[in-house]
Amino acid sequence: MIQKGLKGIVAAETLISHIDGDNGKLFYRGYEIREITKRFSFEEAAYLLWYGNFPDAEQLSALKDELKCNRDLPEYVKVIIDQLPPGMDLMSVIRTAISAESGNSNYGWKPSVSQAIRLTALVPTIIAYRKRQLAGKKFVPHWNDLDHVENYLYMLSGRMPNAAHVEALETYIILTLEHGMNASTFSARVTASTESDIVSAITSAIGTMKGPLHGGAPSGVIELLNEIALVGDAEKVLRDKVTNGEKLMGFGHRVYKTHDPRAISLKAKLMELVGEDEWLDLAMDVESTAVKVLEELKPGRALYTNVEFYAAAIMKAINMDAELFTPTFTASRIVGWTAHVLEQAENNTIYRPQAKYNGSFK
Ligand code: ACO
């Protein structure tokens, strides 16, 4: 019996997170995600995922310092990025730059938390470096006084970011740090299971994240909302798409058979952030119309908004370009990937499923 897409197959035991798909709940190390976003920072949530507990003041300060010390790109990585063709998409640039990072240090087996912290610190710098380079703008070095999320926005714009925008982005980032055995995390674990290094595992994960059915969905959500804004008839656009066999970007989830708790938290943050807003009204209208259309045309499939739907809306509200959506998701999820690589290394067995041969014998 084959489970296409390994649907429902349990491939590992983990202590990192738990998804209760029937009740729409997500826990990091036993703590419910909504509580984490209310009470803790990016650094505290990342510490929890890497170490298994929240940091005390000294541990938090040490983690912040370590992240700051690792933000600068090696010169040779900058040279590699400079030489990549301008048309190369940002996810491929991040994948290439992270892959090149393995030339700098000794990333042998086994992986360590310091390596996880270094890779996590580098991703926002890679994104900002490339984005400003393509725009013909001077690179903005990191600001040591700023924490991880604030510094990311600062390096992108070169200006001190708006506090509400930092808060909104930090909420999004905390909500998307980790999500069980999703496709990119599985990729990272498969690569790590061969006793390959953490840089290779993260390079695999970035390549997997890039696909439109996984991390590439937010740009598709913006396209969908733009199309509906243009046509002006949400129900017709959505109905036509589903009837033609298209998937509505930002809807459906492999594990959640009810509302995605991350989408609910992001929607609440968005309402708090922007209040009355044309774009938010459109997003909420599309959500309710799509759920109705999907209930009618795809009965019993329990299709609701996933995290990507309101991620797209929140990114738009903080004026982040669409091409930064999936890279920003990557800057977040690298924490979960590295936590899983560390866990895989603790009790490793190489992943090696089988395929059923359906060809003929000659
Ligand atoms: N729009 C319309 N129909 C859908 C959608 C959707 N977004 N999602 C699922 N369906 C339908 C399928 O057509 C299928 O119908 P059928 O039974 O008539 O064949 C049924 O629901 C089951 O769909 P599957 O694709 O088998 O569900 P699966 O669990 O494999 O896929 C996935 C989950 C990939 C997220 C899917 O819902 C999808 O492609 N959504 C759109 C892309 C998206 O938003 N991705 C982001 C996911 S969140 C993340 O990765 C961080």
The tens digit of pLDDT for each residue in 65-74 reads 999 999 999 9
Most confident range, picked from 105-114, 141-150, 311-320: 141-150
pLDDT band per the 50, 70, 90 thresholds, residue 20? very high
For residue 39, the Cα-to-chain-centroid distance in whole angstroms is: 21
For residue 217, how far is its CA from the centre of ligand 1 (angstroms)? 11
- pLDDT at res. 31: 98
- Residue 18, beta-bridge partner list: 27
48 by Cβ neighbours in 10 Å (0-12 / 13-18 / 19+) ranks as buried
Same domain flag for 188 and 328:
yes
Q: Would you say residue 153 lies in a domain?
A: yes
Q: Is the CB of 5 under 6 A from ligand 1?
A: yes
Same domain (yes/no): 94, 117 = yes
| 300 CA → ligand 1 middle, Å | 13
Q: Could you tell me if 146 and 236 lie in one domain?
A: no
| Cβ of residue 345 lying under 6 Å from some atom of ligand 1 | no
**pLDDT class of 308 with cuts at 50, 70, 90:** confident
Candidate from 181, 251, 260, 289 with most ligand 1 atoms within 8 A of CB, to mutate: 251
User: What is the domain-level CATH number for residue 115?
Assistant: 1.10.580.10
Q: Check pLDDT > 80 for residue 23.
A: yes
- Residue 351 within any structural domain of the chain: no
> Which residue's CA is minimally distant from atom 35 of ligand 1?
253
Does 304 fall in a domain? Answer: yes
**Ligand 1: residue whose CA is nearest its atom 20:** 301
3-class SS shares of the chain: helix, strand, coil, % to 5: 60, 5, 35
Under a CB-based contact definition with an 8 Å cutoff, are residues 336 and 17 in contact?
yes
Residue 276: band (very low, low, confident or very high) from pLDDT cuts 50, 70, 90 = confident
Number of folded domains in the chain?
2
Task: Report if residue 311 sits inside a domain.
Answer: yes
Confidence of residue 215 (pLDDT cuts 50, 70, 90): confident
In whole angstroms, what is the distance from residue 218 CA to residue 263 CA?
12
Read off the pLDDT of residues 71-109 as tens digits, 9 standing for 90 and up. 999 999 999 999 999 999 999 999 999 999 987 667 989
Of the chain, the percentage scoring pLDDT greater than 70 comes to: 99
Instruction: Give the residue whose CA is nearest to atom 22 of ligand 1.
Output: 301
Q: Which domain holds residue 90?
A: 17-215+323-346
**Residues 293 and 180 placed together within one structural domain of the fold:** no
Cβ atoms within 10 Å of 135's Cβ, excluding its own: 9
CB 207 within 8 A of CB 187: yes
Q: Is this prediction's ipTM beyond 0.90?
A: yes
Query: 109 and 127 in one domain?
Result: yes
User: 316 in ligand 1 pocket by Cβ < 6 Å?
Assistant: no
| Closest-lying ligand 1 atom to the alpha carbon of residue 221 | 44
Residue 141 resides in a domain:
yes
Same domain, 64 and 206: yes
Return the H-helix or E-strand segment holding 17.
strand 17-20
Predicted pLDDT of residue 106: 78
Same domain, 84 and 170: yes
- pLDDT recorded at residue 237: 96
Residues 184 and 128 in one domain: yes
Instruction: Let me know whether 302 and 342 are in one domain.
Output: no
User: Which residue pairs, CB below 8 angstroms and at least 24 apart, start in 237-242?
Assistant: 238/286, 238/289, 238/290, 238/293, 239/293, 239/297, 242/293, 242/294, 242/297, 242/298
From the CA of 250, give the closest atom in ligand 1: 44
Interatomic CA distance for residues 47 and 56, integer angstroms: 10
Q: Is residue 361 part of a domain?
A: no
Mutate to test the pocket of ligand 1, among 224, 298, 337 (most ligand atoms within 8 A of CB): 298
Q: Average pLDDT over the chain, rounded to whole?
A: 94
Which residues are catalytically annotated?
A: 253, 308
Same domain, 234 and 126: no
Q: Which ranges constitute the DSSP H helices of 70-141?
A: 75-83, 90-101, 113-134
Question: Tens of pLDDT along 175-196?
Answer: 999 999 999 999 999 999 999 9
CATH number at residue 313: 1.10.230.10
| CA 254 to ligand 1 center in whole angstroms | 7
Q: Whose CA is nearest to atom 9 of ligand 1?
A: 252
Whether pLDDT at 270 is above 90: no
User: Which residue's alpha carbon is at the smallest distance from atom 32 of ligand 1?
Assistant: 253
Q: Tell me: do 69 and 85 sit in the same domain.
A: yes
Residue at 232 is within a domain: yes
Residues 62 and 118 in one domain: yes
Calculate how far, in angstroms, residue 82's C-alpha sits from the geometric centre of ligand 1. 37
Provide, rounded to the nearest whole percent, the portion of the chain with pLDDT above 90.
Answer: 83
Residue 11 within any structural domain of the chain: no
Answer whether 242 contacts ligand 1 (Cβ < 6 A).
Answer: yes
pTM summary value: 0.92
